[in-house]
Amino acid sequence: MSVSPADFAAALRHHPAGVALMTVRDDTDDVGTTVTSVMSVSADPPLVAVGLAADGYPAEVLEAVGSCALTVLAAGQAILASRFSSAGRPGARHLLESVPWSRAPGSDAIVLDGGVVGLDCRLDRLVPAGDHVLALLAVVGVPVLREDAAPLLRLRGRYVDAT
């Protein structure tokens, strides 16, 4: 018996997932995308995995550049998650016009000052996984850490505060 992609997606809508913004700085612009498939892989060495559409521009530019930043979004940042999940979006700096941010020292990618956690990452490798790729990222720094901030979650197709 096999599960259809629609049934699979419907089932996983009931699994709450943290919401993060992945940014990559390339030669001409900053690229950003909302991701809800981030997981801790290893503490030694520090590795996280991010699921990205295999045929998407974020995976392509990450592979070309070799580094990125992840910002775990805080409760109240749902509008940013929505901005970066829509198709045909402009560059990241344009979408963050009134949002405080800085650059991660290793990747030079954008991290949001108001996020829960910012991770500065180097691409370890891309692993094919069906219609996605898993980007295994070596964490080289933690430029933002707000232990008192509540995270933003995605549940049943909506962004919800984890409070």
Predicted pLDDT at 75: 94
Residue length, the chain? 163
Q: What is the pLDDT of residues 25-76, one digit of tens each?
A: 988 889 999 999 899 999 999 999 999 999 999 999 999 999 999 999 999 9
Strands, E, within the chain: which ranges? 17-18, 20-25, 30-35, 38-43, 46-53, 67-72, 101-103, 110-112, 117-129, 132-145, 152-155, 158-161
Q: What pTM did the predictor assign?
A: 0.92
| Average confidence (pLDDT) over 121-127 | 98
| Average confidence (pLDDT) over 84-113 | 89
Residue 115 has pLDDT above 70, yes or no: yes
Positive/negative CA dihedral, 46, 118, 76, 59: negative
- Collapsed DSSP state (helix, strand, coil) of residue 64: helix
Q: What is the pLDDT of residues 143-162, one digit of tens each?
A: 999 999 999 999 888 888 76
Q: Structure tokens of 123?
A: 């691409």
Domains and their CATH numbers in the chain: 5-157 (2.30.110.10)
CB-CB contact of 117 with 125 (8 Å) = no
